[in-house]
Structure 1
Amino acid sequence: MNIALWIAAGLLATVALAGGITKTFVPRKKLASHRGGRWTGDASDGFVKTLGVLELLAAVGLILPAVLDIAPVLVPVTAICWILLMVGAMITHLRCDEARFVALNAVYLALAAFVAWGRLGPFTD
């Protein structure tokens, strides 16, 4: 089970890293021109970049605390924060009629719930 939790956390960290880099460093107008990024056209630059930084922090928080064995409780805390972020993403994509991205965010939410449950519950080290 520990391997499955590491795989799930790694997948989420990869998604968070990719999304964080994109939102932090790609201009908002360019993001708005791509599928799934339509919502950025209505958001401020600061908001999009803040979400990007939060995603970069999530990528770090899902992996490093456990790897370094320094405050490993931050892994499930980060997973719970990711769940909240995905709820917001799902609502945003619903408002933009982007059902495909709602489903994708639901998968990420489920992975984060699995990591949070596994690292807080029965499979803590």
Structure 2
Amino acid sequence: MKGLKYIIAGILFGIVMSKSEAISWYRIQEMFRFQAFHMYGIIGTAVVLGAIATYLIKKFNMKDYQGNPIIFTPKEKSVPRYLIGGTIFGLGWALTGACPGPMFVNLGYGYWAILVAIVGALIGTYLYGVLRDKLPH
């Protein structure tokens, strides 16, 4: 029962994603074709809320679900790393019409074709784990 709040948070996340139409393939295509502001507004809101949440976590020295302090460690900035990673992520997002979070919301909606994207994402994650030590970071 300790994880119940995380299940509830996941359900609420799914509801917000579906009601905001962030899981819609058509909305995502509109964004990538610069035809509508809808998705940019959602992403911008998420960035602002994420910044506020990070500020509050740091200010109140919040802890994770196991009681450990949440620590933000700065990473080495590398423009090529971000450009390559962002390009790969963006291409996958544009081709599948879904980023990782909404993929599972689409599956919950019964869009079984998204299983192809989920399996691809899992294989890609596994391959990254296998090749991680050989990749530039």
Give the TM-score normalised by structure 1.
0.33
Give the TM-score normalised by structure 2.
0.31
Q: Which protein has the larger Cα radius of gyration, Structure 1 or Structure 2?
A: 2
Question: Per residue, is there more helix in 1 or in 2?
Answer: 1
